[in-house]
């Protein structure tokens, strides 16, 4: 649970939008008059995938919650009042659904989230194959930017930064990556066809933190 929570924190800090045609639950924007849906964001965390979408509704939270339950095609079967807001929850096929609603300028501000077990098809780039043994995955975020998939991975390693940097560079060279100009301050970067990877190392006490950012264009 601690790793998932740390991953969620990273998702909030690093996450960028992945635009989808419909909100969570498969309901079209046109069907939700007086509701404004933000872009959906998809994150890959250790052992789980998180999808979330913010919204605004032109009605009070209680009324908006009723509409989500009755018309949204969403499996909400629990309701809890928390600090003047409403929390909805439910399960469907192993996925945990949550809805957070609170009073807003137009009536209601909220966010829908679905947390599901991770699958290999959504794992993104596996940076771990290039990290020396002994590393511990801190968090992984997978998001989509147009036709590209971006994977941000963080690892904690007890090794010294210079040795880790050399080992990772050698592993990437064997895999066909070539040095490139980094956009991260103090980072290093590599390219290969339709893909870009950059790395930054940070010293954290007796450990090193390895950040790897990978972008892959898909036709």
Residue-wise pLDDT tens digits, 113-160 = 998 876 544 456 788 889 998 988 887 777 777 788 888 888 999 988
Burial of 89 (0-12, 13-18, 19+ CB in 10 A): middle
Helices (H) and strands (E) in the chain, counts: 3, 13
pLDDT for the residue 124: 62
Residues 69 and 66: their CA atoms lie apart, in Å, by 5
Question: Could you tell me which residues come within 8 angstroms of residue 24 by beta carbon, excluding any fewer than 6 positions away?
Answer: 40, 51, 52, 53, 74, 112, 113, 114
Lowest mean pLDDT among 58-62, 144-148, 188-192: 144-148
In the chain, ranges of CATH 3.30.310.80 domains: 124-217
Residues 117 and 114: their CA atoms lie apart, in Å, by 10
Burial state string for 199-214 with b = 16 or more CB within 10 A and e = fewer than 16:
bbbeeeeebbbbbbbb
Which structure tokens are listed for 123?
């794992």
* Superfamily of structural domain 124-217: Kinase associated domain 1, KA1 (3.30.310.80)
pLDDT for the residue 118: 66
pLDDT for the residue 158: 92
| Residues 46, 94 contacting (CB under 8 angstroms) | no
The single-letter DSSP state of residue 132 is P
Residues 183 and 190: their CA atoms lie apart, in Å, by 11
């Amino acid at each position: 649970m601690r790793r998932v929570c740390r991953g969620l924190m990273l998702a909030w800090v690093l996450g960028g939008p992945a635009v989808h045609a419909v909100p969570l639950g498969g309901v079209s924007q046109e069907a939700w008059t007086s509701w404004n849906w933000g872009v959906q964001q998809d994150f890959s965390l250790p052992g789980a995938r998180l999808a979330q979408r913010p919204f605004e509704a032109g009605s009070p939270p209680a009324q908006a919650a009723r509409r989500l339950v009755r018309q949204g095609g969403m499996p909400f079967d629990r309701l809890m009042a928390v600090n003047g807001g409403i929390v909805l929850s439910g399960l469907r096929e192993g996925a945990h659904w949550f809805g957070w609603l609170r009073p807003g300028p137009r009536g209601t501000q909220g966010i829908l989230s679905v947390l599901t077990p991770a699958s290999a098809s959504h794992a993104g780039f596996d940076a771990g194959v290039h990290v020396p043994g002994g590393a511990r995955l801190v968090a992984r975020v997978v998001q989509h930017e147009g036709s590209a998939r971006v994977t941000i991975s963080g690892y904690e390693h007890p090794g010294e930064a210079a040795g880790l940097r050399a080992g990772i560079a050698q592993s990437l060279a064997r895999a066909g990556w070539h040095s490139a100009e980094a956009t991260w301050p103090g980072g290093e970067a590599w390219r290969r066809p339709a893909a870009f990877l950059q790395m930054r190392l940070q010293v954290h006490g007796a450990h090193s933190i390895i950040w790897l950012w990978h972008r892959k264009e898909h036709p």
